[in-house]
Amino acid sequence: MKSISMDWTSLFFNGNKYALAKHGYSRDHRPDKRQVKIGLAITAGKRLPFHFSVEEGGLVDSKQFIKDY
C-alpha cells in the first residue's frame, strides 16, 4: 500500500456498564458524557477497510493515531 486513510469517531453512553466508556476529551464537545472512540483505516485507492479499533473515550487523536498506525 502506498497510502492509507484513517478516521475516528465517537459514541457516547448514558449508563456505566461499558468499561471502555470514559469521560475526557470529547469529539462531540460533550465532556459530560462517557464515550468510546472508534477508528477505521482504509486503503486510499480502492477504499478497502483493513483495520479498526475501539479505544477509551478519553484518548486524544494523536495517541490513537500512534496506536492504530
- Alpha carbon of 14 to those of 11, 26, 66: distances in Å? 10, 14, 29
pTM, to two decimals: 0.74
Domain count within the chain: 1
Q: Is the pLDDT of residue 2 over 90?
A: no
Q: Is the pLDDT of residue 49 over 80?
A: yes
CB hemisphere CA count around 24 (13 angstroms)? 15
Q: What digits encode the pLDDT tens for the residues 15-48?
A: 888 888 888 777 778 888 899 989 999 998 888 9
The parent domain of residue 50 ranges over: 4-68
Q: What digits encode the pLDDT tens for the residues 9-21?
A: 888 888 888 888 8
DSSP 8-state secondary structure symbol assigned to residue 23: S
Q: Is the pLDDT of residue 1 over 80?
A: no
